[in-house]
Chains A and B, each alone.
Chain A
Amino acid sequence: MNEFKGHVGIGPAVEGIALAAHDNFSTRYDLDRDRGIVSRPSHKLYGENYVGRILVLNAAKGGVASAWMLREMVRKEMAPLALLLNDANPVMAQGAAFAQLPLIDRFDTDITAAIRTGDHLHIDPAQGLVRVLR
Chain B
Amino acid sequence: MKLNDLEQSMLEGAHGRAAQWAIDYQRSVGTFFDARDFVPVRVIHMSTDRETMGDAGVAFLEELAALPPEERRPRAFATADFRGFDEETFRFLLPGRDLVAQSAEAVDALGKLGVVTSHAYVNDHSVTAPAFGEACGYSGTPSVVYMNGIVGARCNFEAGPSSLAAFFTGRVPHYGFHLDGARHATHAFRLDFTPATVVDWGVVGALIGRCLNSYWSVPAIEIVRDRPTVLELNHMALSMASYGSIAMFHVIGVTPEAPDWETACGGKTLTPETLSQSDLDKFYDEWGGAGEKLDVVALATPQLDMPEIVQIAELLDGSTVHPDTTLLVYTPIEIKEACARIGLNGVIERAGGRVVHGHDFFATFAKEIREAHGWERLMTHSVKAVNICEGYGYKPTPAAIPRCIESAIAGKVLP
- The list of the 9 closest CB pairs from A to B, nearest first, reads A72-B54, A67-B159, A89-B215, A62-B242, A94-B162, A68-B160, A40-B391, A75-B56, A90-B157
* Nearest Cβ on chain B to A32's Cβ, whole angstroms: 7
> Do A95 and B393 have beta carbons less than 8 Å apart?
no
Q: Please name all residues of chain A whose beta carbon is closer than 8 Å to the beta carbon of B244 when the two chains form the complex.
A: 61-62
Is A39 positioned at the interface, with any CB of B under 8 Å from its CB? yes
Q: Please name all residues of chain A whose beta carbon is closer than 8 Å to the beta carbon of B140 when the two chains form the complex.
A: 64
CA distance A117 to B52 in the complex (A): 29
Q: Please name all residues of chain A whose beta carbon is closer than 8 Å to the beta carbon of B160 when the two chains form the complex.
A: 64, 67-68, 94, 98
What's the dominant secondary structure at chain B's contact region?
A: helix
Q: Please name all residues of chain A whose beta carbon is closer than 8 Å to the beta carbon of B384 when the two chains form the complex.
A: 62
Are A61 and B162 also in contact (CB < 8 A) when A31-B391, A75-B55 are?
no
**Nearest residue, chain A, Cβ from B144:** A64
Q: Please name all residues of chain B whose beta carbon is closer than 8 Å to the beta carbon of A21 when the two chains form the complex.
A: none
Q: Please name all residues of chain A whose beta carbon is closer than 8 Å to the beta carbon of B56 when the two chains form the complex.
A: 68, 71-72, 74-75
Q: List 17 A-B contacts (CB under 8 A).
A: A7-B32, A10-B28, A10-B29, A24-B213, A29-B242, A40-B391, A61-B244, A62-B209, A62-B243, A65-B47, A66-B159, A68-B47, A68-B53, A68-B56, A87-B215, A90-B158, A94-B160
> Do B391 and A59 have beta carbons less than 8 Å apart?
no
CA distance A49 to B392 in the complex (A): 16
* Nearest Cβ on chain B to A106's Cβ, whole angstroms: 10
* Nearest Cβ on chain B to A112's Cβ, whole angstroms: 12
Is B410 positioned at the interface, with any CB of A under 8 Å from its CB? no
* Nearest Cβ on chain A to B101's Cβ, whole angstroms: 18
Is A8 positioned at the interface, with any CB of B under 8 Å from its CB? yes
> Do A68 and B213 have beta carbons less than 8 Å apart?
no
**Nearest residue, chain B, Cβ from A40:** B391
